[in-house]
């Protein structure tokens, strides 16, 4: 007896699709906002980013808990993550608050590993490593901190906090990207 096929139109996939669809709204809020603590659009941009990233855990939990994992969800979920984080990084660079080279390094790693994972998806699933999960947490913290106009609210020392958080996220992004590739190379040689 075979297991029934799970519909692609399920709650986790709908949540993921909503994350992708509100990314342009978040990016627009960021681009038209100012770095002023009184600018509600800047705060809304930060809120949408946080909600979008938080729902990533929610949709994954629901999918696993209720056996609603689909191939479509496996494809859309990392795309939604990359659209949100990529949009935030590009937006911050466009408004001059994050150096372009940081955005480029992070995006090349993120999209490169995502494409690599899709390329080997038919052969095997490459799960997120512990380092990859820690990297994601630091990217989330760094981007959230950069999105909020905390330096204007609490003082310029918050710029130092933002730089440190983004530096840690950048190092973890590169290190975990190299680790994925090395692990894949070792696994391929072992076959």
CATH number of the structural domain spanning residue 85: 1.20.120.1760
| Tens digit of pLDDT at every position of the chain (191 positions) | 555 677 888 999 999 999 999 899 999 999 998 767 678 999 999 999 999 999 888 988 898 899 888 888 888 888 898 899 999 999 999 999 999 999 999 999 999 888 887 776 566 656 667 888 899 899 999 999 999 988 888 888 999 999 999 999 999 999 999 988 888 788 777 76
Please report which residue ranges of the chain form alpha helices under DSSP H: 11-32, 40-65, 71-94, 100-120, 130-147, 150-154, 157-190
**Is residue 2 a part of any domain in this protein?**
no
**Is residue 1 a part of any domain in this protein?**
no
Cβ neighbours, 10 Å, residue 52: 23
Count structural domains, the chain: 1
**Is residue 5 a part of any domain in this protein?**
no
Model-level pTM?
A: 0.87
**Is residue 81 a part of any domain in this protein?**
yes
**Is residue 3 a part of any domain in this protein?**
no
**Is residue 91 a part of any domain in this protein?**
yes
Q: Are 173 and 109 in contact (CB under 8 A)?
A: yes
């Amino acid at each position: 007896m075979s297991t029934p096929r799970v519909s692609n139109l399920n709650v986790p996939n709908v949540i993921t699709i909503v994350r992708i669809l509100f990314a342009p709204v978040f990016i627009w809020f960021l681009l038209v906002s100012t770095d002023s603590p009184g600018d509600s659009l800047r705060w809304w941009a930060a809120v949408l980013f946080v909600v979008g990233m938080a729902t990533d855990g929610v949709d994954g939990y629901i999918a696993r808990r209720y056996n609603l994992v689909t191939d479509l969800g496996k494809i859309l979920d990392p795309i939604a993550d990359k659209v949100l984080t990529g949009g935030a990084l590009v937006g911050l660079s466009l408004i001059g608050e994050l150096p372009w080279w940081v955005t480029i390094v992070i995006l090349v790693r993120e999209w490169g590993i995502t494409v690599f994972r899709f390329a080997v998806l038919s052969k095997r699933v490459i799960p997120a490593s512990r380092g990859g999960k820690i990297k994601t947490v630091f990217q989330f913290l760094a981007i959230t901190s950069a999105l909020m106009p905390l330096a204007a609210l609490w003082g310029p020392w918050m710029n130092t906090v933002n730089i440190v958080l983004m530096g840690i996220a950048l190092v973890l992004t590169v290190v975990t990207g190299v680790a994925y590739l090395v692990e894949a190379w070792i696994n391929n040689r072992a076959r």
